[in-house]
Structure 1
Amino acid sequence: MRGFLRLSVSAVARLRRARRRRREVSAAVTTSTVLDTRAPTTRTTSDFEADVVVTARREEAEGVVGVELALPSGDPLPSWTPGAHIDLELPGGLTRQYSLCGHPAEAAWRIGVLREAAGRGGSRWIADELTEGTTLRVRGPRNNFPLQPAGRYVFVAGGIGITPLLPMIRAVAAAGGNWVLHYGGRSRASMAFLGELAGYGDRVRVHPQDEVGMLDLDAVLGAPTADTLVYCCGPTGLIEAVEVRCRTRGPGVLHAERFTAAPVVTDGEDTGFEVVCERSGLTVAVPPELSVLEALGNAGVDVLSSCEEGICGTCETTVLDGEPDHRDSLLTDEEKAAGDTMMICVSRCRGARLVLDL
């Protein structure tokens, strides 16, 4: 984690991408129902940051732990919108991102964590060692996966991918919207929050693999309709399979969130290039072996970052000139084609020079 102890900021007209990503849910789910817009959806790097205490910890399924976080003072934590996540600082210098899966109006935040034996250690520590009363540092919330208005929603969850979809379903159901959830997992015992979802009746379709096999995505997605949006979260294989089936449905139909970065296919070996920091007047050489983030850091230009894998959006930076070589797993194809923003932890340059709003 790289960051500042203190930082003076000002809003500038160049932040076109930040404004476009500020997707408040401000339209009707149907012609007669409207989602709650009181908590704006934003992607921002000027987050709330505080120490919180673990007020509850429970087993939600085999290998899945639910954790509730609250301020020690008892004051409510900041409101958020469906799809938001937080950064959680763990012992050993680890920072991990977890989707908020409780209710935005509640004073506490809730996350669900899958214990990954082959992971980098964060989920194992939470599953094996975290106890009630533990104090942790949090930052956020940040929303890279906002709920957009639609006439109908198809939610597709795989395993722990159910977490960001839970508050979306709650919001759409409360507004009387048209929706269905298809939830796949290894077995019912491994699928978290089934009891919570049972109250929605037959709008929730549970697909345990040991009972019914793999999700039949052609049947799940059905025939394309003009007013339907697809929201998908889960393993990389599931997201890629849904992406393939949604390519012919037009831009903006599929909204997906990844927990791990997608494989990057490049045209050849990386080459060096220059980055011009427009506001600071500094030009930095980026050699093939360093990322833009690393090269800027070595030159004394600190940019807030977290995952350094191109999935959290913390280091998103406005591009003023030049063509980015996008390698993140966050921006849509349309956003990448626009070329006015990039994740500098992984993305590079297709030419000899980039001008960034830094």
Structure 2
Amino acid sequence: MDLETSPPDLYGRPRADRFFARLTAFGDWYSPALGRPGLRRSPRRGEARGVPPLYLVVVSHRVVAEDVVELRLADPSGGTLPAWQPGARVRVTLPSGRERHYSLCGDPADRHAYRIAVRRIADGGGGSVEVHDALHVGVRLRVLRPRNGFAFCGEEKVLFLAGGIGVTPLLPMARAAQHAGVDWRLVHTGRSTAALPYTAELTALDPARVTVRTDDAQGVPDAAELLAHAPRGAAVYVCGPAPMLLAVQRALPASPAAALHFERFGAAPIRDGHPFALRIGDTTLTVPADRSALDVARELRPDLPYSCRQGFCGTCVLKVSAGTPEHRDRRLTDEQRAAGLLLPCVSRAAAGETLVLEV
């Protein structure tokens, strides 16, 4: 979506009840691809060599809002967990083999459990449904150590803007801001109060600093209205769907705020895209200018793995046997690209080109 084009509403949805159908699983650009042939860890990103994953057990599974469950993950032996800072994520391998990334939303001072919260998206990629239905107390999971691509800088004045489940990385930031005596505000938006997790926990920090803004009570807000809550010269931290981020970015210059930090739920809008084709076996698929090669390929092969959808993690790597890709990822090395590897979540091809994939 072009920054000069307004989305249908702040959440990019035609109707309020489709807000969360547009969300996709989080991506973590610092996590390495695991178990994918031909892709090795980049020396620039990912787990340091020799650093083992964690094997944690689900010790709590509870509903914290409509279609939202909270999990607490702990060391089975009761040991302490690696430290983390507000904004950090963990990468979880689910029992099915799917890999998903979730923001830590607990207290960094609690070294005995990691807390995550996941909204159920019935028509998503299956990860959230599996979390809700299969991750019962006692299930053991492989978890990569926390990584942070959305760090809280602790500015003197801060506005946090949360779109629904986007509150998860912002809750620890708000707690840190309160403890540090920062002048902070938080606005939590969503369909209804029942759909918003952690409202009570947020307001317990300081009810005067937290605004709950629901569509059913007040209508869908616009970005200028949300940014009006910012103290003069404040830094804005926003987490939510892509149209919300774009709207906030566009409205920022006319607002009291001075800086913007954000984290996406999923893929960024495609810019400068051209139609091209994918050939998988005997089938040729057209990739429109506004869709990713990954999304189109998954229509034929829904088993293709993916995670971040932002060209960072490497989970969706495929091999190109013919055709010239336009690489737009931030993961593959020159040698890997020369060997024909491609991250179809972001990379494309010139107009009219056909990429032959080994799938």
After TM superposition, the score normalised by the length of structure 2 is 0.66
Q: In structure 1, give the amino acid aligned to 2:47.
A: T
CA displacement 1:141-182 (0-9 Å, x = unmatched): 111111123221111001100000000001111000011001
CA displacement 1:189-239 (0-9 Å, x = unmatched): 111011111212110000121111122431321298774111111122222
SS at match of 2:106: coil
Q: Evaluate the alpha carbon distance shift between residue 137 and residue 108 of structure 1 in structure 2; reply closer, same or farther with a 3 A threshold.
A: same
Report how far residue 137 of structure 1 moved. 1.0
Distance (Å, rounded) in 2 between the aligned partners of 1:52 and 1:125 = 17
**1:73 maps to which of 72, 77, 81:** 77
Answer yes or no: is the 8 Å Cα contact 1:310–1:345 preserved in 2.
no
Which one is further off, 74-83 or 222-231? 222-231
Q: How does 1:132-211 map to 2 (within 5 A)?
A: 132-199=137-204, 200-211=206-217
Q: Evaluate the alpha carbon distance shift between residue 198 and residue 174 of structure 1 in structure 2; reply closer, same or farther with a 3 A threshold.
A: same
Which one is further off, 45-54 or 161-170? 45-54
Distance (Å, rounded) in 2 between the aligned partners of 1:9 and 1:241 = 35
Report how far residue 49 of structure 1 moved. 0.9
State yes or no: 1:260 paired with 2:266: yes
- What is residue 30 of structure 1 aligned with on the other side? none
Unaligned 5+ runs, structure 1: 19-43, 272-287, 294-304, 317-323, 331-342, 352-358
- What is residue 93 of structure 2 aligned with on the other side? 89
**1:120 maps to which of 125, 139, 143:** 125
- What is residue 228 of structure 2 aligned with on the other side? 222
Q: Evaluate the alpha carbon distance shift between residue 250 and residue 202 of structure 1 in structure 2; reply closer, same or farther with a 3 A threshold.
A: closer
SS at match of 2:137: coil
Answer yes or no: is the 8 Å Cα contact 1:50–1:139 preserved in 2.
yes
State yes or no: 1:307 paired with 2:307: yes
Which one is further off, 240-249 or 154-163? 240-249
What is the total number of aligned residue pairs between the two structures? 272
- What is residue 98 of structure 1 aligned with on the other side? 102
Distance (Å, rounded) in 2 between the aligned partners of 1:266 and 1:237 = 18
Distance (Å, rounded) in 1 between the aligned partners of 2:40 and 2:97 = 25
Q: Evaluate the alpha carbon distance shift between residue 158 and residue 225 of structure 1 in structure 2; reply closer, same or farther with a 3 A threshold.
A: closer
CA displacement 1:330-355 (0-9 Å, x = unmatched): 9xxxxxxxxxxxx956455999xxxx
Distance (Å, rounded) in 1 between the aligned partners of 2:256 and 2:209 = 25
Q: In structure 1, give the amino acid aligned to 2:121.
A: E
Report how far residue 140 of structure 1 moved. 2.4
Answer yes or no: is the 8 Å Cα contact 1:45–1:314 preserved in 2.
no
Answer yes or no: is the 8 Å Cα contact 1:264–1:327 preserved in 2.
no
Q: Evaluate the alpha carbon distance shift between residue 309 and residue 251 of structure 1 in structure 2; reply closer, same or farther with a 3 A threshold.
A: farther
Q: Evaluate the alpha carbon distance shift between residue 257 and residue 306 of structure 1 in structure 2; reply closer, same or farther with a 3 A threshold.
A: same
- What is residue 67 of structure 2 aligned with on the other side? 63
**1:239 maps to which of 215, 226, 245:** 245
Q: Evaluate the alpha carbon distance shift between residue 223 and residue 79 of structure 1 in structure 2; reply closer, same or farther with a 3 A threshold.
A: closer
- What is residue 41 of structure 1 aligned with on the other side? none
Report how far residue 247 of structure 1 moved. 5.4
- What is residue 12 of structure 2 aligned with on the other side? none
Answer yes or no: is the 8 Å Cα contact 1:150–1:227 preserved in 2.
no
Q: How does 1:39-58 map to 2 (within 5 A)?
A: 44-46=46-48, 48-58=52-62
Distance (Å, rounded) in 2 between the aligned partners of 1:10 and 1:265 = 26
Answer yes or no: is the 8 Å Cα contact 1:2–1:306 preserved in 2.
no
Answer yes or no: is the 8 Å Cα contact 2:233–2:258 preserved in 1.
no
Answer yes or no: is the 8 Å Cα contact 2:57–2:139 preserved in 1.
yes
Unaligned 5+ runs, structure 2: 1-32, 278-285, 295-304, 316-325, 332-341, 351-359
- What is residue 108 of structure 1 aligned with on the other side? 113
Distance (Å, rounded) in 2 between the aligned partners of 1:95 and 1:180 = 33
Q: In structure 2, give the amino acid aligned to 1:202.
A: A
Q: How does 1:257-296 map to 2 (within 5 A)?
A: 257-268=263-274
Q: In structure 2, give the amino acid aligned to 1:45.
A: E
Answer yes or no: is the 8 Å Cα contact 2:68–2:120 preserved in 1.
yes
Across the aligned residues of Structure 1 and Structure 2, the Cα RMSD in angstroms comes to 3.7
Q: Evaluate the alpha carbon distance shift between residue 269 and residue 9 of structure 1 in structure 2; reply closer, same or farther with a 3 A threshold.
A: closer
- What is residue 2 of structure 1 aligned with on the other side? 34
Distance (Å, rounded) in 2 between the aligned partners of 1:8 and 1:126 = 28
